[in-house]
Amino acid sequence: MSTEDRPIKTVLFLCTGNYYRSRFAEELFNHRSAGCAPEYQAISRALAIERGIDNPGPLSRFAIDGLRIRGVTPKGDRRFPRQCVLEDLERAQCVVALNEAEHRPLMRERFPQWETRIQYWNIEDVGFLDPKIALATLDADVNALLKELGA
């Protein structure tokens, strides 16, 4: 079966507001997946979109700048953040919440049956970790996931 004939598998990245970390991960993953895991496509969603009321515009400037530094032109930079719903979790083959301390309680509260079924990374939000450090860590984690999925 050729790559074109394989069904697309979904990787779902979750963060609190779907504005910065998860969007960066989605764009970076999709940019790089063609080379090592072409059967995967990433999407991203918010676990608590209502907490992002101070987010101006559809995508964080930190995410846009971090992607451009890496040679990635964001394709979804006009899409506003989206709230995660049960169907997003059900259709994904891989789900990653980007900060365990922050997101495990939200999973427990909103999707308790999924709390232990997903991966948790440890990427802190703006205000807790410098975006350059956070995005470099996220870059490395996305690369590791791509290698794992493409193996």
pLDDT at residue 119 tops 80:
yes
Q: Could you tell me the residue ranges of all domains in the chain?
A: 7-150
Share above pLDDT 70 across residues of the chain, in percent, rounded to a whole number: 95
What's residue 5's pLDDT?
A: 59
Alpha carbon 71 to its chain's center:
18
0.85 surpassed by pTM: yes
The mean pLDDT of 8-12, rounded to a whole number, is: 95
Report how far residue 25's alpha carbon sits from residue 44's, in angstroms, rounded to the nearest whole number: 8
- CATH number for region 7-150: 3.40.50.2300
pLDDT at residue 54 tops 80:
no
Residue 91 burial (C-beta neighbours within 10 Å; 0-12, 13-18, 19+): exposed
What's residue 76's pLDDT?
A: 86
